[in-house]
Structure 1
Amino acid sequence: MGLQLGTTGAGIQLARTLTSDGRLVARVGASYFAYDRVFRVKAGEGKLNITPDLVMGIALASVKWHPFKRNQLFLTGGAGYTWRPDVKANVIAEGNVKFGGLQISQENVGVVNASLRWNSVLGYAGLGYGRSTPIRRLGFAVELGCYYLGSPKVDLQYTGFLETTTIDEQIPVIQRNMENYRFLPSLQFLLTYGLFRK
């Protein structure tokens, strides 16, 4: 069993060796991260209050391969699932705000809800150093990997002055510009404990 902490949050793993020499390991795990703290951006005399809605929950099944018998370097690949494959943000004004010399009242700014949504099923590949099933009771591992998310879809909903603009025509352009944001890097630190020993 392992406890992990990294860029995709905190999580837990279960692993089992598939071969007698311990070079092939199957594992399953899940990690979770959430952030929704409001931050404020000054815009003229007023402010824009931006509330992110970021929840990153990933369940992953993968296989690790140690190519060298006496070296703890490993390669890994697998597939994952996320039940919240999106990033959302809510924007509202506080006081009169100014955009490029144009001053807009708080009421006319309205509300903006924006989101990027990826696929729920993810691919994963990575490399690292350490063992998921330690030789002794305790072990440590570090892993650098990357999730493949697919191209994001852009959704923008709004009220207020944006309704008088042609921003809807720009959404396909924004989505094309976001096509390369298909990958999520991951750095994980893992503390393992051997449950069963002969």
Structure 2
Amino acid sequence: MVPIKVLKHRLKCITICSTSIFFILSICPAIVLSQDFTKTEKVSSKTKIGLNIGSYGIQTEYKLPLKEKQKISIKAGLFLMNFRQAISLNLAQESSLKVEPNFQSFGVSLKAERPLNNWLIIYFESRMFLKQKWQLNLSTKDGIDLNGLRIEASDFGQIDAALKWWFLQPGIGLEIGKNNTNKRINVTATIASFYMGSPKLNLSYEGFLETTTLQETIPQIENNMRNYSFYPAMSLNLTYRLTKSQK
């Protein structure tokens, strides 16, 4: 039998998701595969594929507008991100810090966009994370100096930090650049901001931090991190129409 607390949590998640989707539809991000759904004429001449590279990863799109003079288009898709690259920081002589990030995310997205003029498109997007892992591992092989305080490698040990945001993250953005319907290739740029919600921080460590009361301050750290809940995103977009335009 599922506990009542779990049922309440699931009901809350479903409610938030439904509200977000309804909000996007009523006013009408990594690898993303997306499909546009609109009402249309001349479907084949408007079919496009796209490649977006930005601060949130890599995104590919398949666009099929269904209306000659489109007002609103809807995109549904999948996104994926995987970043694991160790970084070694030389802080000073015989002082170094090794940072090992493990960033992984996967989920679905829903996007509604509307052109404001020939050069500007506004869009609203909601991303639902089916998986998100934002982890950092800190260690040192030489020891570190903190304002004159020397901590040897054996005393430093390891620090593992894991951060988790809301599984549903709404965002708003602008696409800048002219989409010339007479050209098969178009280049645009986007700027956006996503609201990540309240963070959940999990810390595990061994070494000198075991003698501190760091665990007791985690709620305060999480509260302070709410000031950084808005994630800015930028991308450069290249689109290619698969067929020639119909006159």
Q: Which TM-score tier does this pair reach, normalised by the shorter chain?
A: 0.7 to 0.9
Q: Percent identity?
A: 27
Q: How far 1:163 moved relative to its partner?
A: 0.9
Distance in 2 (CA, whole Å) between partners of 1:182 and 1:49 is 26
Q: Where does residue 170 of structure 2 map in the other structure? A: 123
Which of 61, 77, 82 is 2:124 aligned to? Answer: 77
Give the superposed CA RMSD.
Answer: 2.5
Which structure shows the higher helix fraction?
2
Gaps of 5+ in 1: none
- For 1:173-192, list aligned pairs within 5 A: 173-192=220-239
Distance in 2 (CA, whole Å) between partners of 1:24 and 1:110 is 54
Distance in 2 (CA, whole Å) between partners of 1:67 and 1:167 is 50
Distance in 2 (CA, whole Å) between partners of 1:110 and 1:124 is 39
Q: Where does residue 62 of structure 2 map in the other structure? A: 14
Aligned residue pairs, count: 196
Q: How far 1:131 moved relative to its partner?
A: 6.3
SS of corresponding position for 1:17: coil
SS of corresponding position for 1:191: strand
Gaps of 5+ in 2: 1-48
Which of 185, 206, 210 is 1:159 aligned to? Answer: 206
Contact 2:119/2:179 (<8 A) preserved: no
Contact 1:57/1:82 (<8 A) preserved: yes
Distance change in 2, residues 1:74/1:143 (3 Å): same
SS of corresponding position for 1:192: strand
Distance in 2 (CA, whole Å) between partners of 1:132 and 1:84 is 34
Q: How far 1:178 moved relative to its partner?
A: 0.3
TM-score (ref. length: structure 2): 0.69
TM-score (ref. length: structure 1): 0.84
Q: How far 1:43 moved relative to its partner?
A: 6.0
Q: Where does residue 3 of structure 2 map in the other structure? A: none
Which structure shows the higher strand fraction?
1
Contact 1:28/1:61 (<8 A) preserved: yes
Residue range with higher mean Cα deviation, 29-38 or 44-53: 29-38
